[in-house]
Amino acid sequence: MHDLVSIDASKLSTRQINVRLTELIGARKDIEIINPKARHNIIVGILDKCNITVRGSLGYYCASLLDGPSIVVEGNSGWALGENLMSGNIAISKDTGASVGASMRGGNICVGRNAGARAGISMKGGSLVIGGDSGFLTGFMMQKGQIIVCGDVGDAVGDSMYEGEIYVGGDIASLGNDAVIVDITKKELISVWNKLEENGIDKQPEFKKIVSGKKLYHFDKLERLEKSSV
Amino acid sequence: MVNRTSQIFSPWVVEDIHAKSDLGRYRIRGFSSFQKVTHFDDLTFLSTGLTRYPLEGYKEKCNTRTIIGGLNAENPLILDTPIYITGMSYGSLSANAKTALGKAASMVGTASCTGDGGMHPAERKASDKLIYQVLPSRYGFNPHHLKQAQAIEIVVGQGAKPGTGGMLMGVKVMDHIADMRDLPSGIDQRSPARHPDWLGPDDLAMKIEQLREATDWKVPIHVKLGACRVSDDVKLAAKAGADAIVIDSMVAGTGASSEILLDHSGIPTVPAIVLAREALREIKLDGKVTLIASGGIRNGGDVAKALALGADAVAIGISALIALNCNREIPGSNFVEEIGLPAGECNRCHTGKCPVGIATQDENLTSRLDPDEGAERVANFINAMTMEMALLARSIGKSNVHSLEPEDLAALTIEASVMARVPLVGTNKVFGDN
């Protein structure tokens, strides 16, 4: 633990908040942000380990383009929380808007309640844990990683996914293109439950596992000139 | 006299129907559109006579310095020539090709651009000025790389295939490419068309602010658009806060696209520039937001005409690859045997068997491209184009290539007059004007 320094977001511009964060992280301070009032684009592009607690709700693209930080949000967020996370941890207590964890490549994101549409879209690694429900196109074009939804998922879950796994504890409105439900082993189930426990979620649903059917991996046929070269 | 073959069902159309009947899918190729469209050849410069004095064509100073993105960025991109190298992915191109292009750009004081596959370390090292693309796929996207870039380009669309994402056939998705993109090896990779974290212009404004915050407002942010609904798109991108707008026309190149999009979507470069410039003027951001044109730039004349029509800079792709020896027999190559088409007609970039080591990941083929030699060829080509452009500018009496204007041009066809908003030669009439 380092000294805790408070930033009152209501008194600063977005630029000033991010500059102040950089200064405090350089000085190895733990940070709390108060009065964020759903501000967009704060906690962006931080590439060092640090601890930041947000006391309130965030707007769009917050806690994004990060590599290393540990972020706790006591509230809700707008779109794209944790976008392109490389490593680190983001825990948000309430709901997130669309595209949480979009294109994340590593680390862990935990949403305490519900996530909007396109959760984990284009995800390339890491874990996205959702305590409640998730909207349509969850895991759209997902490439790698793990999405765990304790509640229900909307339409077209896992559409066009390449690799990775989506675990759904509740109802599935519909599967996306080339997404298939496969059997989950007891070992996998226990591993998912452990992941929930690690994220402070006290639930043990009987999960369904969704993966790519791999039917979209290749075009069916090649042309003569293409064949000659393959 | 009537032709002995059908104009509607030409031999090419017959072959196309046969191929699709065999395949059961759309056809794919690289290179550029085969459509015949109005282009820079349909315009001519009106050089000096008694109404203006020329500058000494071969000697006198003519400024080609170009500033991109001075609106919001602390460090705008400053280039010695208005020509830079457009985004082409590592994956579509070999590491040697990317290195050569970056090195060439550095040699002539201009920039190169990453493309849809992330930033290759050799490309970063070779490039003094590197533009980092933010694409819908976000393949290999890394905030560490973002912070190393001299400019950022958000790609909304590509002229060769507007409304769709990139394409990389499985033969080119080798282990090292798959690792960089977080994909399984060997799959036919079709990139997303929509960004994962924003959809419309209001989101784009916030996305631009995010990238500025992540880079401390230091570098310019470009928005690249496939030239379709140019007027509206340019206004929306400019109002969203872009420092520069790249308008990429239907004749722009690609390493792989469905043929139907290559030949049947988008608009040509000439009207795209004119519409974009008019749009910026209408919202009073003319001269503030930089306009960059790409698509079918082949020589200094094309560059000069693009600037005269209203572009501030141009980006080249295919012509840079041709300078790198694309479509040319070199020692060790045999186009007909290796690719099935003679040099000069090759458009099989997507097959991964490029005989000159440019559009391939095959080690035997990539070794045919020496990055240093290639860099020198591309640098020579950009220098030649810059000289040609300056020569034309001097002949019109301009000491700065950015002083070229529509008044310096005339159209050789009625269509070009309509699209370029300049008079048809031999008349004072701008066709299409009421």
From CA B411, how far away is CA B421, in angstroms rounded? Answer: 9
Residues in chain A within 8 Å Cβ distance of B352:
229-230
pLDDT > 90? residue B113: yes
pLDDT at position B409: 98
From CA B144, how far away is CA B151, in angstroms rounded? Answer: 14
**Contact partners, residue A117, CB within 8 Å, separation at least 6:** A98, A99, A135, A136, A137, A138, A154
Where is pLDDT greater, at B57 or B61? B61
pLDDT > 70? residue A228: no
pLDDT > 80? residue A226: no
Q: Edge-to-edge strands of the sheet including B244-248?
A: B83-85, B313-316, B290-294, B244-248, B221-226, B151-155, B130-134, B112-113
Domain contains A26: no
Domain contains A3: no
Domain contains A24: no
From CA A192, how far away is CA A174, in angstroms rounded? Answer: 22
Domain that holds residue A138: 36-227
Cα dihedral angle (B75, B76, B79, B83), rounded to 10 degrees? 150
- Asked if A162 has any chain B CB less than 8 Å from its own CB, the reply is yes
Over range A51-63, report the average pLDDT.
98
Number of Cβ pairs < 8 A linking chain A and chain B: 135
Q: What are phi and psi of B266, to 5 degrees?
A: 90, 175
Over range B88-100, report the average pLDDT.
97
- B259 with B15: CB under 8 angstroms? no
Average pLDDT, chain B: 96
pLDDT at position A222: 78
- A24 with A31: CB under 8 angstroms? yes
Give the count of alpha carbons within 13 A of B45, CB side only: 25
pLDDT at position A227: 62
pLDDT at position B57: 74
Number of domains in chain A: 1
From CA A86, how far away is CA A64, in angstroms rounded? Answer: 9
Among A168-177, A210-219, B238-247, B385-394, the least confident range: A210-219
% of residues, chain B, pLDDT over 70: 100
From CA B384, how far away is CA B299, in angstroms rounded? Answer: 8
Average pLDDT, chain A: 95
pLDDT tens digits, one per residue of A209-222: 999 999 988 887 77
Q: Is B230 left (phi over 0), alpha (psi -120 to 50) or beta?
A: alpha
| Cα of A164 vs its chain's centroid, Å | 14
Over range B150-154, report the average pLDDT.
98
- B32 with B249: CB under 8 angstroms? no
pLDDT > 60? residue A229: no
- Asked if B174 has any chain A CB less than 8 Å from its own CB, the reply is no
Tell me how far apart the 2 most distant CA atoms of chain B are, in Å.
Answer: 68
Is A41's CB within 8 Å of B353's CB? no
Among A146-155, A177-186, B146-155, B176-185, the least confident range: B176-185
pLDDT at position A230: 37
Over range B9-14, report the average pLDDT.
93
Domain contains A21: no
- Asked if B361 has any chain A CB less than 8 Å from its own CB, the reply is no
Is A225's CB within 8 Å of B203's CB? no
Residue A208 maps to which CATH number?
A: 2.160.20.60
Question: Among residues 132-151 of chain B, which lie with CB inside 8 Å of chain A?
Answer: 136-138, 141-144, 146-147
Domain contains A10: no
Whole-structure pTM value = 0.96
Tokens of B219: 């570098």
Domain contains A222: yes
pLDDT tens digits, one per residue of B349-360: 999 999 999 999
- Asked if B197 has any chain A CB less than 8 Å from its own CB, the reply is yes
- Asked if A227 has any chain B CB less than 8 Å from its own CB, the reply is no
pLDDT tens digits, one per residue of B265-303: 999 999 999 999 999 999 999 999 999 999 999 999 999
How close B141 gets to chain A, by Cα (Å)?
A: 8
pLDDT tens digits, one per residue of B404-425: 999 999 999 999 999 999 999 9
Question: Among residues 171-210 of chain A, which lie with CB inside 8 Å of chain B?
Answer: none
Exposed, middle or buried: residue B363 (CB in 10 Å: 0-12, 13-18, 19+)? exposed
pLDDT > 90? residue B5: no
Out of B22, B146, B351, closest to residue A229 by CB: B351
pLDDT at position B302: 98
Over range A28-46, report the average pLDDT.
97
pLDDT > 70? residue A75: yes
- Asked if A213 has any chain B CB less than 8 Å from its own CB, the reply is no
| Cα of B222 vs its chain's centroid, Å | 13
pLDDT at position B434: 65
Tokens of B408: 């310096």
Q: What's chain B's Rg over C-alpha atoms?
A: 21
Is A122's CB within 8 Å of B217's CB? no
From CA A176, how far away is CA A121, in angstroms rounded? Answer: 13
Q: How confident is the model at residue A1 (pLDDT cuts 50, 70, 90)?
A: low
Domain contains A73: yes
CATH superfamily of B61-324+369-404: Aldolase class I (3.20.20.70)
